[in-house]
Structure 1
Amino acid sequence: MGSLGMLRLLVVLIVSTTLSGCMITPREGPMSSEIETQSKQEEYVVVDVDASIVDGLSRFNPVGLRKNFSSSRYNAHVSTVGVGDVLSVTIFEADSGGLFSGANGNRAVFPQVAVDRDGSISLPYSGLLKVKGKTPLQVQDLIVESLEGKAIQPQVMVSVVENESNRITLSGDVSKPGLYPLPINGVRLLDAVAEAGGSKFPARETYVTLVRGDRQGVQLLETVIAQPDENVYVAQGDRIYISHDPQRYTVLGAVKKPSVYTFDASSISVLEAIAAAGGLNDNRADATGVFVFRYEDPKILESLNIPHSREVRGKVPTVYRINMQHAKSYFYAQSFHLQDKDSVFVSNAKGVEIGKLLNLINMATSSVKNVAVTTNYIDNLAD
């Protein structure tokens, strides 16, 4: 084969290789039909959104702080004595000439009685008394019991002067982090946060973490404000952490402005999310394929009678599908509210893929014509 023949063969190979590589059209994501088909293999749940789904999601009220911490007044905090506390103890006797008779009459005052590291106090004629974990009233009864048969019908008053142990810790994104004493009658979470100057950021962007022993709960501050049951009583030793973590959602696919968006209101619907992204792209969008990707609480799916077989970290991979070709679906999209980290995806219409294929065919046809012209030119050179 001569040099011109080699050149001719090289041109044909280059064009054919280019065409074969272009037969796979690029896409931003799966087609609507592929999402449902692949769900059986990938073990995620596809749920078609209708009136019953929207109603079920709106009625479901997931438990938050109240699941692990009681919110009733019955369980309000009762102040107890702890290590490091300082007590004021006053002992009265019914008649003079008793153990505690003196310049102050038939009484004795001990204004600074410290609770030692063993949780005990020491008083004259009473000896060492274990008071850790007891209320002031219980300490009074304990002292009276220790003086029976020694003092004349003793009566005792005990108050906490310095309550080092009966404190909570507030830290994170509050104006005045630190240790705060608890009132005897107890205090609710929002009041405790307010005592620390409140959150530095809007409530819809702020989370509250409450740690009590080996229990922990997390809730959006805005939810604590809106739902009284979430505004639980805090207790001795509680650690409260306020963190700024704006809620976000993602809009992808056939929209005009795909991006990550933050919640600019307490609640964002699917319709508002699409509008924020510039709306559907009329030239590309498949109106039947508007999807919301979410790791869903299995209890929600069970309440909706939707079977599932796989959980990831206690959540079920779920895809909610909204058919926007039906006018009523706009009401569904308006009532379907997004959650933090949700992803909204609008798939391409089938016609878009057909259009891409037609363009490739046109490219192929044009390329073949160019090959023919080039090879004819090479043949003429050979002649």
Structure 2
Amino acid sequence: MTHRPFPRLGAPLLLAVGALTLAGCSSFGAAGPSTRDIRAAGTAHDPASDILIVDLDRPVAGRIADLTERRSFANVFGDTLVAAPLIERGDLIAVTMWEAPPAVLFGTSGSSRPSEDPMVASSTSLPEQRVDEDGAIAIPFAGRVQVAGRTPAQVQREIVARLRGKANDPQAIVRLVDNQSSNVTILGEVANSRRVPLSARGERLLDILAQAGGPTEDVDKVTIRLTRGTRAETMPLEAVILDPTQNVPLRADDVVTVIHQPYSFIALGAVQRNAEVPFEGGGLSLAQALGRIGGLRDDRSDVRGVFVFRFEDLGALPPELAASASATRDGRVPVIYRLDLSQPAGLFVAQDFAMRDDDVLYVSSAPGADLQRFIATLTSFALSSIAIGNSL
């Protein structure tokens, strides 16, 4: 039996290995910066030195949650109901006056004809009046009455006081028919952008939203921006609905802007799925974010290198870091939060840390993971070469 001699593949294989090794230096790069590179970014003498590296633990997560709570509608704008709207210039006022029998001043009924029963009280309803530029209205037998900046009840008492001695036990009712001054403006992604007058009932945020026809987009994709004077804060509509304390009473000249803003974060690196991932306005924890992308890759990820890249508010940083941080024009600081999932406590921190819109979640590759990929590829190539040689 004749045996085919084993092919001499040593030299070609070494050449192939050498070529593949050189190619591997450029073709087996990592999916992003390593854990060491990111940790060094905060101390390097280059533009990246403005970046803060913050280890994510329970106190840090708690500080961020406290900042979010401090900027909620309930904390910023309060839950105090406002008094009945005051009468202001341009408002439409209705006044009705009564006189007890026997009527002396108003001897006619509301139908402008003499009362058939002298023992029945007589009333007079005045034509509706706009409050003039001087803030006054005219009342027969009482003269001009200043009403701007006063409540209807205060105006009633003054009218009665002026008629006393002229009419027999006078009474009066003042109604605010058309409120032109105490309004809330609502605009944006609503069915009907408009100015909504406030009443003595004390309208809240969701009342005004309902009067505007509600949002035109899905609730979980809508944020509400409430502006009062020079202060403005933004919250997801879903968070306002789920927490009744955030449904705050509104005041005159408040502006409510309804914004269509789907929330999302970007997942990169050694994770199961690199993608832009949408999430609900009600919020998403870091643990949930990792779950939505399928978790970390067992064969590549560095469990000590889970990072969240964010432009953070100064108020969320420890005082010693905030004092020296370089902020952007809008007052935010580039921060990288690092989570160590090799410790059990890291899983609890991941549940406490809330993701924000536009966050970048990055998981670095484990040291040696790319070398292992290279060796596996090299081994596969070598075995293929031997198999081809044996077939010759």
TM-score (ref. length: structure 1): 0.76
How many angstroms apart in 2 are the aligned matches of 1:121 and 1:329? Answer: 69
How far the C-alpha of 1:51 sits from its partner, in A, is 4.0
How far the C-alpha of 1:24 sits from its partner, in A, is 9.9
- The verdict on how the C-alpha distance between 1:331 and 1:264 changes in structure 2, with shifts beyond 3 A counting, is same
Where does residue 226 of structure 1 map in the other structure? 242
- The verdict on how the C-alpha distance between 1:308 and 1:348 changes in structure 2, with shifts beyond 3 A counting, is farther
- The verdict on how the C-alpha distance between 1:210 and 1:271 changes in structure 2, with shifts beyond 3 A counting, is closer
- 1:74-113 matches, within 5 Å, as 76-93=82-99, 96=102, 98-102=104-108, 103=114, 106-113=122-129
Q: For 1:155, give the aligned amino acid.
A: Q
Where does residue 332 of structure 2 map in the other structure? 315
Where does residue 369 of structure 1 map in the other structure? none
Where does residue 251 of structure 2 map in the other structure? 235
Q: For 1:70, give the aligned amino acid.
A: G
Q: For 2:56, give the aligned amino acid.
A: V
Where does residue 8 of structure 1 map in the other structure? none
How many angstroms apart in 2 are the aligned matches of 1:205 and 1:77? Answer: 34
- The verdict on how the C-alpha distance between 1:216 and 1:158 changes in structure 2, with shifts beyond 3 A counting, is same
How far the C-alpha of 1:110 sits from its partner, in A, is 0.8
- Decide whether the 8 Å contact of 2:239 with 2:281 is kept in 1: no
How far the C-alpha of 1:264 sits from its partner, in A, is 4.5
Q: 2:78 aligns with which of 59, 70, 81?
A: 70
- Decide whether the 8 Å contact of 1:45 with 1:308 is kept in 2: no
How many angstroms apart in 2 are the aligned matches of 1:268 and 1:220? Answer: 12
How far the C-alpha of 1:241 sits from its partner, in A, is 1.8
- The verdict on how the C-alpha distance between 1:77 and 1:189 changes in structure 2, with shifts beyond 3 A counting, is farther
- The verdict on how the C-alpha distance between 1:77 and 1:250 changes in structure 2, with shifts beyond 3 A counting, is farther
What percent of counterpart residues are identical?
32
- Decide whether the 8 Å contact of 1:77 with 1:234 is kept in 2: no
- The verdict on how the C-alpha distance between 1:308 and 1:356 changes in structure 2, with shifts beyond 3 A counting, is farther
- The verdict on how the C-alpha distance between 1:217 and 1:78 changes in structure 2, with shifts beyond 3 A counting, is farther
- The verdict on how the C-alpha distance between 1:227 and 1:306 changes in structure 2, with shifts beyond 3 A counting, is farther
- The verdict on how the C-alpha distance between 1:264 and 1:99 changes in structure 2, with shifts beyond 3 A counting, is closer
Q: Which runs of 5+ in 2 are unaligned?
A: 1-18, 109-113, 116-120, 380-392
Q: 2:37 aligns with which of 29, 34, 37?
A: 34
How many angstroms apart in 2 are the aligned matches of 1:157 and 1:208? Answer: 39
How many angstroms apart in 1 are the aligned matches of 2:339 and 2:375? Answer: 29
Where does residue 333 of structure 1 map in the other structure? 350
How many angstroms apart in 2 are the aligned matches of 1:180 and 1:52? Answer: 43
- Decide whether the 8 Å contact of 2:106 with 2:124 is kept in 1: yes
Q: When the two structures are aligned, how many residues end up with a matched partner?
A: 344
- The verdict on how the C-alpha distance between 1:273 and 1:199 changes in structure 2, with shifts beyond 3 A counting, is same
- 1:203-352 matches, within 5 Å, as 203-264=219-280, 266-302=282-318, 309-310=324-325, 311-312=327-328, 313-352=330-369
Please give the per-residue CA displacement for 1:184-219, whole angstroms capped at 9, x wherever unaligned.
121111222223332233333211122334443322
Q: 2:56 aligns with which of 28, 35, 49?
A: 49
- Decide whether the 8 Å contact of 2:304 with 2:341 is kept in 1: yes
How far the C-alpha of 1:299 sits from its partner, in A, is 2.9
- The verdict on how the C-alpha distance between 1:287 and 1:217 changes in structure 2, with shifts beyond 3 A counting, is closer
How far the C-alpha of 1:289 sits from its partner, in A, is 0.7
How far the C-alpha of 1:39 sits from its partner, in A, is 0.8
Q: Which runs of 5+ in 1 are unaligned?
A: 1-15, 363-383
Where does residue 10 of structure 1 map in the other structure? none
Alignment of 1:135 with 2:151, yes or no, is yes
| Root-mean-square deviation (Å) | 3.6
Q: For 2:128, give the aligned amino acid.
A: Q
- The verdict on how the C-alpha distance between 1:28 and 1:229 changes in structure 2, with shifts beyond 3 A counting, is same
Please give the per-residue CA displacement for 1:319-349, whole angstroms capped at 9, x wherever unaligned.
2111223344233323433122221111122
Please give the per-residue CA displacement for 1:92-111, whole angstroms capped at 9, x wherever unaligned.
34565644333355543214
How many angstroms apart in 2 are the aligned matches of 1:106 and 1:122? Answer: 20
